[in-house]
């Protein structure tokens, strides 16, 4: 039998130089590379769509991180969905749709153990498997444990996590859902399309004062993707027994000049934490892979009956991936940011 016909080379996006300040096109390089050859236990995947996330900005800098940084001269990586074209072993077959972590290239050679087969019928749009909804779902259901009647505050509400978090909170019975964002345009979208009751606007005055006006009786739940001033403001408005789920630190990741690290120091009033019995807990879906199928089932149901919206932007072509990340850092997108290859 003749070997499958594939190109001899493919394109990938490499880190051209560390980015400790504003991102520019010079930080990226689109290069040709030999097509990888699969062996036992590996899978050759033709990537179809990839995600661009704020964490990638941090991974381009020189700051110390709890995850591997991108390496100058080598391809970037991140969540992607593609079609298996060769699988010498490992339980996959050509034509299978899989999710893996080697985006930013047209073809990927992936360890079979690091591929997750996707049911093409699980979600109306396979791209929705790249949503960050599992993070929002896990944080709100299993950490903050949203209850009927709660007032919920979501920071970074127009991002990939926040755009679904507000909808999930309402789905769980929250009485009032408040979000924060950095532009009036996004604030209008959050209220009119995603069901937020009110929005705290960064740059429109002290966050604490805006939050007190939006939630005069305080908040029961925080889903925090930003940290910094917004976390401190949420604590000041916390009701007794409030539950805080911390999933990101965008105030540091998108901060620019410090290289986009994760360190986001903030002064919190320990007296308030104790007197109001506030629970603060960090959460990462990477520690809870069992939540992915749970969220996928819920997401599929909501997308099909119209009770959930997958807010996202799509750019087309691998060449657009660097631009997608720059625009994300600059606040140019609402929801998830995806690139079709």
Alpha-carbon gap, residue 166 to 104, rounded angstroms: 30
Name the pTM for this structure: 0.90
pLDDT at 166 over 90: yes
Q: Quickly count: other Cβ atoms within 10 Å of residue 221's Cβ.
A: 28
* Whether 146 contacts 169, CB under 8 Å: yes
Q: Quick check: 152 pLDDT over 80?
A: yes
Nearest partner of 157 among 278, 313, 331, 305, judged by Cα = 331
pLDDT of residue 252: 60
List strand residue ranges (DSSP E) for 202-291, in order.
219-224, 238-246, 279-282
Which tens digits make up the pLDDT trace of 172-217? 999 999 999 999 999 999 999 999 999 999 989 999 999 999 999 9
pLDDT of residue 19: 87
What is the pLDDT, as a whole number, of residue 251? 62
The model's pLDDT over 93-120, given as tens digits with 9 standing for 90+, comes to: 999 999 999 999 999 999 999 999 999 9
Least confident residue range of 24-33, 64-73, 200-209, 268-277? 64-73
Tell whether the torsion through CA atoms of 309, 311, 313 and 318 is positive or negative: negative
In the predicted structure, residue 4 carries a pLDDT above the cut 60 = no
Torsion angles phi and psi, residue 186, rounded to 5:
-65, -40
Structure tokens of 69? 């940084």
Q: What is the mean pLDDT of residues 298-311?
A: 96
Q: Is the pLDDT of residue 332 over 50?
A: yes
Q: State both tokens at 316.
A: 């087309």
Mean pLDDT of the chain: 91
Query: What are the tokens at 88?
Result: 């010498």
Arithmetic mean of pLDDT, 122-145 = 96
**Structure confidence by residue, pLDDT tens digits, 253-298:** 555 444 455 556 788 999 999 999 999 999 999 889 899 999 999 9
Residue 164 CA to residue 149 CA, distance in Å, equals 19
The pLDDT > 70 percentage for the chain reads: 93
Q: Is 281 helix (H, G, I), strand (E, B) or coil?
A: strand
Q: What is the pLDDT of residue 1?
A: 41
pLDDT (0 to 100) of residue 266 = 80
pLDDT-based confidence at 230, cuts 50/70/90?
Answer: very high
CB-based burial, 174-184: b 16+ in 10 Å, e otherwise: bebbbbbbbbe
The pLDDT score that the predictor gives to residue 316 is 96
Q: Who's near 127: CB < 8 A, 6+ residues apart?
A: 49, 81, 312, 314, 338
pLDDT of residue 92: 94
Do residues 243 and 283 touch, judged by C-beta distance below 8 A? no
pLDDT reported for residue 286: 86
**What is the phi/psi pair of residue 268, to 5°?**
-115, 145
Integer-rounded Cα Rg, in Å, for the chain is 21
Backbone angles phi, psi at 26, to 5 degrees: -70, -15
Secondary structure (3-state) at 243: strand
**What is the spatial distance between Cα 20 and Cα 57, in angstroms, rounded to a whole number?**
10
Indicate the burial class of 121 (C-beta count within 10 angstroms; 0-12, 13-18, 19 or more): exposed
Which two structure tokens, joined as six digits, stand for 313?
Answer: 């932007």
% of the chain at pLDDT higher than 90: 80
Instruction: Tell me what pLDDT residue 259 has.
Output: 46
3-state helix, strand, coil in the chain (%, to 5): 30, 25, 45
């Amino acid at each position: 039998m003749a070997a499958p016909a594939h190109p001899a080379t493919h394109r990938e996006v490499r880190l051209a130089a560390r980015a400790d300040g504003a991102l520019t096109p010079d930080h990226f390089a689109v290069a040709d590379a030999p097509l990888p050859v699969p062996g036992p236990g590996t899978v050759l995947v033709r990537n179809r769509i990839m995600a661009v996330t704020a964490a990638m900005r941090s991974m381009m800098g020189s700051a110390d991180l709890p995850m591997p940084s991108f390496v100058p001269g080598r391809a970037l990586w991140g969540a992607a969905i593609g079609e298996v074209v060769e699988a010498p072993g490992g339980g996959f077959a050509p034509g299978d749709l899989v999710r893996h972590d080697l985006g930013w290239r047209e073809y990927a050679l992936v360890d079979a153990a690091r591929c997750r087969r996707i049911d093409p019928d699980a979600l109306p749009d396979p791209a929705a498997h790249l949503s960050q909804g599992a993070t929002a779902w896990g944080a709100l259901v299993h950490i903050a444990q949203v209850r009927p009647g709660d007032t919920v505050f979501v920071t970074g509400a127009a991002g990939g996590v926040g755009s679904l978090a507000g909808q999930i909170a309402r789905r769980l019975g929250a009485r009032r859902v408040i979000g924060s964002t950095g532009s009036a345009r996004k604030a209008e979208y959050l209220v009119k399309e995603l069901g937020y009751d009110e929005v705290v606007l960064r740059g429109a005055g002290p966050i604490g004062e805006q939050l007190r006006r939006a939630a005069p009786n305080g908040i029961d739940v925080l889903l925090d993707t930003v940290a910094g001033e917004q976390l401190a403001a949420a604590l000041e408005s916390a009701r007794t027994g409030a539950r805080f789920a911390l999933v990101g630190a965008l105030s540091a990741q998108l901060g620019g000049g410090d290289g986009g690290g994760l360190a986001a120091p903030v002064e919190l009033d320990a007296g308030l934490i104790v007197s109001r019995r506030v629970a603060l807990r960090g959460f990462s879906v990477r520690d809870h892979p069992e939540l992915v199928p749970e969220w996928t089932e819920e997401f599929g149901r909501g997308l099909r009956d119209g009770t959930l919206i997958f807010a996202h932007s799509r750019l087309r072509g691998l060449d657009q991936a660097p631009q997608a990340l720059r625009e994300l850092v600059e606040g140019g997108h609402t929801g998830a940011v995806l690139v079709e290859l």
